[in-house]
Structure 1
Amino acid sequence: MTQIRSLFATRLYRASLSEHGPAVDSAELESSCWSIAEDDEAGQEWCDANSYPGYTSYASLTDLPWRFPIFAALVEALDKHVAAFAEDLEFDLGDRKLVVEDIWINILPEGGTHSSHIHPHSVISGTTYVSMPEGTSALKLEDPRLGFMMAAPARRKGCREELKTFVYEAPSVGDVLLWESWLRHEVPPNMSEEERISVSFNYKWE
């Protein structure tokens, strides 16, 4: 009998941030992102020097949970989501655990984009969404086998999600997305006139 199975799964975790608690006030989180962006002169200078559209705290502030209680509460909630995802992935963590390594703010204006990339020194990466105005960009995820497909024909339009070369995940405010850090991803141009605000993070094994 013919058998066709799907092997080497790529997992994507999506949940409401509040699902595992504690509750994080979304309005306070958004106002904190704006306040930090306005005060972070080093971050603004880095964005200008590197032609980064909008604002990111990635290269300037490495201690958001220490500086701002709202980010400490956010990490407390994210820890539970990452633990649930690690369980689904059946990681054997031994006597070590996954802990937050970096957490940073992203504010993308109209036309702003974040080019395709991976997070090579982490185990799990993700984003939680603070402001997603109508018409803003989804997260674009790339099949990790793409570079090996060589002479393969294109997939038919409307093929099953597990066979797509690219998957576009459109999260809502308050959602958290998690993926293994080797998964290539990008943020296409923000087509909304309003800013797209998110908080991204990496978890390492230690």
Structure 2
Amino acid sequence: MAQITSLFVTRLYRARLSELGSQIDTNELETSCFSIAEDDEAGQTWCEENAYPGYTSYASLTDLPWRFPIFADLKEALDRHVEAFAEDLEFDLGDGKLELEDLWINILPEGGTHSSHIHPHSVISGTTYVSMPDGASALKLEDPRSARMMAAPPRKKDAREELKAFVYVKPQVGDVLLWESWLRHEVPLNMAEDERVSVSFNYKWV
């Protein structure tokens, strides 16, 4: 009898931020995100000069966990989730460890998008979701083999999830998603009237 197995699996980690014992008040986190965005003139300037929709602190504030206590608490929570994901991935870290490299705020207004990208030089990347109003964009994940499927026909619309070219993940407020940093992803058009707020991050091997 023929045997068909799945090889080279792409893992996606999804959990509640509070699942591993940390209690983060998402209302306080949302308020902090908007307060920081309002005061971050350098970040506002960068977004304007680079035609970035809404606001991100990616290019301006690199030390949020050291500036604001709630982001320090968030870092501790994320450390636990990343440790759990790394264990699932069966990484052999040797004498090293996975350490937070950067963490930034994203505020995406109605009509805003974040184009397809990867996170070079990092090991694990992810996002935790602070505000997801009705109509807010899902996270779109791309099959990492896409560039090599030069002559492949399209998949059936009802194909199993692990065989789809793209998978859309609709997170809820308080969720954390983790993936390996080479996985291409994007945020499609935000159809919500209110802002979609999230905090993204990278972990490196040190």
User: TM range, normalised to the smaller chain?
Assistant: over 0.9
Aligned match of 1:30: 30
Aligned match of 1:15: 15
User: C-alpha displacement at 1:95, in angstroms?
Assistant: 1.1
**TM-score (normalised: structure 1):** 0.99
**Counterpart Cα distance in 2 of 1:98 and 1:121:** 13
Aligned match of 2:71: 71
- Secondary structure (helix, strand or coil) at the match of 2:23 reads coil
**Counterpart Cα distance in 2 of 1:54 and 1:81:** 28
Q: Which segments of 5 or more consecutive residues in structure 2 lack a partner in the other structure?
A: none
**TM-score (normalised: structure 2):** 0.99
Alpha-carbon displacement from aligned partner over 1:86-112 (angstroms, at most 9, x marks no partner): 000000011110010000000000001
User: C-alpha displacement at 1:119, in angstroms?
Assistant: 0.3
- Secondary structure (helix, strand or coil) at the match of 2:61 reads coil
Aligned match of 1:108: 108
Aligned match of 1:153: 153
User: C-alpha displacement at 1:22, in angstroms?
Assistant: 1.6
**Counterpart Cα distance in 2 of 1:157 and 1:193:** 29
**Counterpart Cα distance in 2 of 1:146 and 1:196:** 28
**Counterpart Cα distance in 2 of 1:82 and 1:130:** 18
Aligned match of 1:203: 203
**Counterpart Cα distance in 1 of 2:111 and 2:127:** 20
- Secondary structure (helix, strand or coil) at the match of 2:177 reads strand
- Secondary structure (helix, strand or coil) at the match of 1:70 reads helix
Please tell me the residue identity of whatever aligns with 1:43. G
User: C-alpha displacement at 1:21, in angstroms?
Assistant: 2.4
Corresponding pairs, count: 206
Runs of 4+ in 1 over 3 A off after TM superposition: none
- Secondary structure (helix, strand or coil) at the match of 2:140 reads strand
Q: Report matched runs for 1:120-131 at 5 Å.
A: 120-131=120-131
User: C-alpha displacement at 1:183, in angstroms?
Assistant: 0.1
Determine whether 1:175 maps to 2:175.
Answer: yes
User: C-alpha displacement at 1:15, in angstroms?
Assistant: 0.1
Aligned match of 1:83: 83
Determine whether 1:49 maps to 2:37.
Answer: no
**Counterpart Cα distance in 2 of 1:74 and 1:110:** 26
Please tell me the residue identity of whatever aligns with 1:18. S
**Counterpart Cα distance in 1 of 2:21 and 2:31:** 20
Q: Which segments of 5 or more consecutive residues in structure 1 lack a partner in the other structure?
A: none
Q: C-alpha root-mean-square deviation of aligned residues, in Å?
A: 0.4
**Counterpart Cα distance in 2 of 1:196 and 1:158:** 29
- Secondary structure (helix, strand or coil) at the match of 2:156 reads coil
**Counterpart Cα distance in 2 of 1:22 and 1:2:** 47
**Counterpart Cα distance in 1 of 2:22 and 2:160:** 36
Please tell me the residue identity of whatever aligns with 2:52. Y
**Counterpart Cα distance in 1 of 2:18 and 2:193:** 28
